[in-house]
Structures are given as C-alpha cells and as structure tokens.
Structure 1
Amino acid sequence: MHRTEVVITGLGAITPLGRDVESTWSALLAGESGIRGGVLPSHQDTGLPDIVAGTMAIDPAELLLPVQARRLDRSQQAALVAAAEAWADAGTPRVDADRLASVIGTGIGGVRTLLKEHDVLETAGKRRVSPRTVPMLMPNAAAALISIEYGARAGAYTPVSACSSGAEAIALGARLIRAGEAEVVIAGGTEAAITPITVAGFVQAQALSRYSVEPASASRPFAADRTGFVLSEGAAVVVLESAEHATARGAHVHAVLAGVGIAADAHHITAPAADGSGQISAMRKALAQARLAPENISHINAHATGTPVGDVAEAHAIREVFGRATVTAPKAALGHLFGAAGAIEALMAVLSVKHGVIPPTRNLTTAGVDPDIDLDLVADRRDAPQEAVLSNSFGFGGQNVSLIIASARNHALHRPC
C-alpha cells in the first residue's frame, strides 16, 4: 500500500522584489529590499501619514494584454501573471480537464475595485459604475479566472484565511491530489490591498511598522526595535502534481510537498494563543504527515511579520517543537503579502531545498535581536544542503498552516503507508 506523494513542478511569482521567480530569488539572496516610500500620499482630510509598503516590482497590467488587464482587479492581474509563469515552468502539462484544479487564496480579493467603484457611484452616479464591478471585486475571481484560462474543471477553490490563505491553498491542493480528486493543481495566493482604508485600519490597530529611518529598514522581524509589519502586494503560484503523473510525463520536479499541518487557535480574532498551542499543533501535524523528526528539518521559514507580540509567540512555539532551530524571515525583504505571503514563502522554501541555500533576514544588525527570540537566526546567506524546510503561515482568526518542503533528490516518492 502506497501513499500518493505530491511534487512541485512549476513556480511563478510577481513580488516587491521582482517581476518573476528568478528576479525575486536573486534579490532575496542578495539581501535587497522591496519596500518603498511614498506609496500613498498623505491626506489632510483623513490624517493618513505617508507610508512605506512593498508594491510589486512591475505593474502586472504591463505583462497582460491591455484589453485583458482593464477587466481585472490588480490582485487578479497578479495571479494570472504568476500562474502563467508557473504553468510554463511546469512544461504546460497535458492533463484531463476533470483532473485539473485551481486553488488560489486571498485575504480580501478585489478591494481596490470595490473602493474605486464606490467612489464613482458617490461622485458620478450609478450609470458610471462599471458592469464588471462584481467579478472584479469577488475574492474567488482569481481562482475562477485561472480555472477558465487552463480549463481546470476539477474545482476552483478560494481559501480566505487572512495571512495563511496562500499556504492553505497549497495545503488544499495537496489534499485534492491525495484524495484522488485531481492529478494536477494550480495553487497559490494573491493580494493587492495597499489602499487608504486598509492602511488606516492597520494604523489604528497599531500593527504597521513605525520605523522611519529608511524604507528598506522598516520591516524588522525578530529585531529588538521592531514595531510592526510592512504591507505588501503580489502573487505566487505553484503547480502541484501527483508523483505518478509527474513521472509519467517526464516532468522536472523542483521539490516534494512532504507534509502539511493545519490547526486553529480557537482563541482570539487577532492575537495568537499565549501558549502557542495552534502553531505548535500545525507544525507537529506537518512533521507527522511527512514522517520526519524535528531534527530532519534543515531550517524554518518563519511567519515572522515584525510585530512585537507575534514574533515572540512564534519563536516560543518553534522552540517547543524544534529547540533552538535555524530560522529565516523573508518578510524583512518582501514585507507582508497577506493572502500571498504563505505561497511566496513556500516557493522560497522550494528554492532553498533545490539550491542548498538559506536566504538572509534583513535588518537584524542595527539594534540587535530581541533577547526573547532564542533562535539561530540567519542574518547572512548560508550555503548548505537543505533536505527539508518547514514554512509557517499564521493568520488573523488563529488560522495556522505549516508546510514541509523536501528535497526531490533524497525524498522517496513512493513510501509505504
């Protein structure tokens, strides 16, 4: 009796660090930052300050046909761009449409369209509101559009679980394959929600970074002087396949999705459980599914947004499961992509095991590391074999997802149950 293994054969992304996977990965390894200033002008009527944020390195509309781009919200544009790269990278798989699914997570969907068209209604009346408003704002549109683009009839799913949406989409894709409902899944996350209202909400919640020395220094996971996260946008998509399907078509396998763990805190709508129970459970479930021990994990890609409370809570949960583990935090360079965060960081974990390198965590040197964070933090790039990487994504609502990405070189693709 054998378990269906899930492999990753395609990668696609558009992020604050780059227009695609290669440029994003190169910039991350080089220690560059995708955080920019002056993203939203100050507004005297609202009291909003100038902020720093991680806008996409290129307008996704420039990578689509003009007529197509005009009909899509920015979040949908980003998802289609990332999916096209991932599908091409996977070698444009030939698969029965009824065995192909689309799973794209998002935190909020087409909020830019919603706000824009509401302004049109208020200033110009209902006749000026776009007839495409609803399909451009609905959260499931990215998954639906990708389903239409690639003829995916096994289902189009949209996990909406705040910061864990992208990781949950990948986890759901793996479940569909292991349940025999699909052989190939286009999975990932997308977000484009840098708007005055979202900024105002996070400012009022005291969640955004207040570090103002320079934009590139604003996102400071685990640093002693961290004050909050930096809002970012973008999309990341992977192509998942059953190992049997990938082998049969001679696909190039980047890595193996060895284990997934999902758990809920059932505690508070924004704050993590003080004892870390939900995060600990997600990590242990992922290890159990992968049939790996904590010592088999080469490093951990932390959720680590840069909030004072959240980083400490995650560090304590990691130490409970792994001890003083080796940890990196890509949000220091990328910012927090919310619905896309878990997907882009899973993609970074894939490249880590494929190339044998741990990306650096920016901004750990100016004021030092929080003494409550007793982990082996990677401040500078490390080149070493990475047999398996655990990637964490923890969302508002206490929704926790952990993914384990294992090397395709040494991970058995057909293990006994």
Structure 2
Amino acid sequence: MTPTALRNGPPRRAVLVGGLGVRSAFGAGLAALTDGVLAGRPAFTPVERFGTAGYRADRAATGPGSPRLADQLVAVLAEAGALSDPTEQQLTSSSEELMLALHGDRRAGPVAAEVADRTGLHPRVYTGACVAASTAVADAAALIATDRRERVVVAAGYLVEPDTFAVFDAGRALAQDGAVRPFSLGRQGMLLGDAAVAVVLESAAALHRRGGRALARIAGWARTGDAFHVCRPHPDGTGLARAVHGALARAGAAPEAIGYVNANGAGSKLGDLAEAAALRTVFPSGTPPVSSTKSVHGHALEASALLELAATVGALRAGALPVNAGWQTPDPDCPLDLVLDRSRPAAPGLALTVNAAFGGANTALLVAAA
C-alpha cells in the first residue's frame, strides 16, 4: 500500500447512493437491469436502428427504436430524484452541479446544453472513454466526503449509433459470433450497448433532511494511469491493481473484505488477460466471485461504469450475484472464481466494480450495502 494511498484514508463523511435512474437494453428502471444481470440473459439482438450490411458484426444490446440521448438522460435524472426537490437543491447548492459523462464527439456539447436547459442542472462534462463515469463518481464522492458538497448528481449516457459501431467493427473489436464471453477461451471481443444512468450521491445529513433512504454506500474509490500503450493494457494489470489497492486504502479495508467483483471484462483477448493478472495480484490466495455484467448489457462506452455501478447496487440489494454469461471454456490464464450458469447468493462484504480504458486509465469503486 503506497504512502499516498494511506494518506487518502477513509472518507470523513459517508457517501450514500440516494437515488438511481436507469435505462438499458433490458428496459426502464433498476429492477429490469437487476433481473437481466442476475439471470445472465444477454440482451444482444440484430441492430435495427441503422444498417449493418458489410460489417463483420451485426449485434448490440439496444432498446427499441431510435431514442434521443437527451430525452433518456432527463428521464433517468427524474427517476433518480435529481429533479424532484428544487428547495433542497437551493439549500445544498450541490444538486445544481451535474457531472455528465458523454461520448467525446461533437454531439456532447449540444446534449449537455439541452439537459441543462431542461433540468436546471449545470453540467461538468466528462469524456474520458470507458472510465468517464467512474471518474465522475470518484470526483463527486470526494466532494461529499470532504464536506465540500452535500449532494452531487452523476449521469452518463451512450446510445449505439453508426459512427462508433463502424469504428469498433473496423478495428475488429466487435464479436462476430454475437456474444460477449469474458474470461473464456474463444472470446472474440465486445459488443456495444445502450445506457442512460443517473446516480444521486449525498451525505447522510442531506438524505435525512429530505426523508430519503440510502440504496448503497460508496465506501472507496481510486483511479490510476499506467500509460503503457494507446490501446493495449499493461499485460501485468499493474495500473488496475493499484487502483483497487487505492480504493481499499480509502475505505480502510483489506482485500478479504471484498465479496464480489464486477469486472471490466469486455471479452477482449488482451484486456481480459490483463484484468485477470490484476485480480491475481490483489487476491493472491484466490479471487472472490467474479462476473462481468457487460456479458449481458454490452459495453456502453462512457456510460459503462455508471451502468455497472447500478448493476452492482442492484445485485447487493437483491442479495445475489450476476452471472458471467457467454462463457464456454476455461482459459488457464484467467483463473478466476467466475459466477457461471446461475446466480449465487451474495456473501457479506464489499462489492468492487472496476473499469479500464484506452491509454492505461483505470478506476475502482467499492460499494457497500446500505
């Protein structure tokens, strides 16, 4: 454990999840997402909202039709309770701040502006690829833990669209067989998925004032960068392992306190190997139960980390662990305790959700039951 990690220490104030809104390929609400991940039921279907002729892959986890991202974000913000109490927002002056993770292209600005106009929230936009949303959660949690805010809203969204689909297909990153198979031999890559998620993070005092009930607690968080390669992860998973150790140090917890890992597990050959190496470093005597919920809801890019945080909260509340779907054959280089075939009862303790992105960026969030 590094001196810096030790100085971070446990949060001065608890960081509570006071509200959650979700839209995924499973439908509206946390319950729909939780049911899907616990059943290990992949939501991948042929893409209908744009043509895929000439592409290597043709599947993604999408909802019906061609929804507008701004509409989806406003809906999940309302569902999370971020818009329901303007008096409380004025008292705390923190719910007016929205940390919004969006795909980093020309559309991010207009989407953020429309959401701000329709909700009255003032967005700070994060576009850091697959760790954008978890970076926003870490920033929000730090503000609450250090008394600088009472409540902060974090939201993220990505809807499968032709531009990114074409880029990932051209890069041979999408699974041609239409399935995501984390940590399995024969895995062919990732598949994209829709997501819009909003999470209200707040102090116990703010939650008490409005008569709310905590859904979970963010016990620890950390992020690292290893800058090993622009695309490939460090084969030893050193950056991800350091992120997990940093989150544990902030929570004042040992690795043995972790009862479940929601892995990054995108189904890529090199990515899964690096993540397995990182988890072996953190858990040298054997990992706790591991699964990747991307195996059913797909990769939502900048929104992935928030969707996976929601899935982890849902699993803790259900007392059951998500299934690592798509798995076929053991990979000797991924010796993990994978949750296969059916859900398992959740053991007491913390849940860890991790994410990794191009450029060697890594994040780790520790979640405790409320």
TM-score (norm 1): 0.79
Q: Does 1:161 align with 2:133?
A: no
Q: Name the CA distance, whole Å, in 2 between partners of 1:93 and 1:360.
A: 41
Q: Name the CA distance, whole Å, in 2 between partners of 1:2 and 1:13.
A: 27
Q: Which amino acid aligns with 2:317?
A: K
* Alignment CA distance shift 1:20-1:29 (3 Å): same
Question: Is residue 394–residue 400 contact of structure 1 (8 Å, CA) maintained in 2?
Answer: yes
Partner of 1:116: none
Structure 1 residues 18-63: Cα deviation after superposition (integer angstroms, max 9, x where no partner):
22221121122222221111444344xxx4345111112x4474xx
Partner of 1:346: 309
Partner of 1:170: 137
Report the 3-state secondary structure (helix = DSSP H, G, I; strand = E; otherwise coil) of the residue aligned with 2:147. coil
Give unpaired runs (5+ residues) of structure 2: 1-9
Q: Name the CA distance, whole Å, in 2 between partners of 1:149 and 1:4.
A: 31
Structure 1 residues 265-303: Cα deviation after superposition (integer angstroms, max 9, x where no partner):
122111111222211111111111111100001110000
Q: Report the Cα offset of residue 375 of structure 1.
A: 0.6
Q: Report the Cα offset of residue 76 of structure 1.
A: 2.2
Q: Name the CA distance, whole Å, in 1 between partners of 2:87 and 2:258.
A: 31
- Counterpart pick for 2:171 among 179, 202, 205: 205
Q: Name the CA distance, whole Å, in 2 between partners of 1:187 and 1:181.
A: 16
Structure 1 residues 140-181: Cα deviation after superposition (integer angstroms, max 9, x where no partner):
4555544444433xx521111111112112112112223433
Q: Which amino acid aligns with 2:78?
A: A
Partner of 1:280: 241
Identity %: 30
Q: Name the CA distance, whole Å, in 2 between partners of 1:222 and 1:90.
A: 42
Q: Name the CA distance, whole Å, in 2 between partners of 1:388 and 1:310.
A: 24
- Counterpart pick for 2:39 among 24, 27, 30: 30
Give unpaired runs (5+ residues) of structure 1: 62-73, 111-136, 409-417
* Alignment CA distance shift 1:93-1:105 (3 Å): farther
Of the two structures, which has the highest relative contact order with CA contacts closer than 8 Å and spacing of 6 or more?
2
Question: Is residue 11–residue 90 contact of structure 1 (8 Å, CA) maintained in 2?
Answer: no
Q: Is the strand fraction higher in 1 or 2?
A: 2
Count of equivalent residues: 355
Q: Name the CA distance, whole Å, in 1 between partners of 2:11 and 2:367.
A: 19
- 1:88-99 alignment to 2 at 5 Å? 94-96=88-90, 98-99=93-94
Question: Is residue 10–residue 89 contact of structure 1 (8 Å, CA) maintained in 2?
Answer: no
Partner of 1:15: 24
Partner of 2:279: 318
Partner of 2:181: 220
Partner of 2:194: 233
Report the 3-state secondary structure (helix = DSSP H, G, I; strand = E; otherwise coil) of the residue aligned with 1:180. coil
Partner of 1:3: 12
Q: Aligned-residue CA RMSD in angstroms?
A: 2.3
Report the 3-state secondary structure (helix = DSSP H, G, I; strand = E; otherwise coil) of the residue aligned with 1:95. helix
Structure 1 residues 298-351: Cα deviation after superposition (integer angstroms, max 9, x where no partner):
110000000001001001101101232120110110111111110010111112
Q: Name the CA distance, whole Å, in 1 between partners of 2:272 and 2:82.
A: 36
Q: Which amino acid aligns with 1:389?
A: A
Partner of 1:84: 78
Q: Name the CA distance, whole Å, in 1 between partners of 2:263 and 2:57.
A: 28
Report the 3-state secondary structure (helix = DSSP H, G, I; strand = E; otherwise coil) of the residue aligned with 2:59. coil
- Counterpart pick for 1:248 among 205, 209, 214: 209
Partner of 2:359: 397
Q: Report the Cα offset of residue 88 of structure 1.
A: 6.8
TM-score (norm 2): 0.89
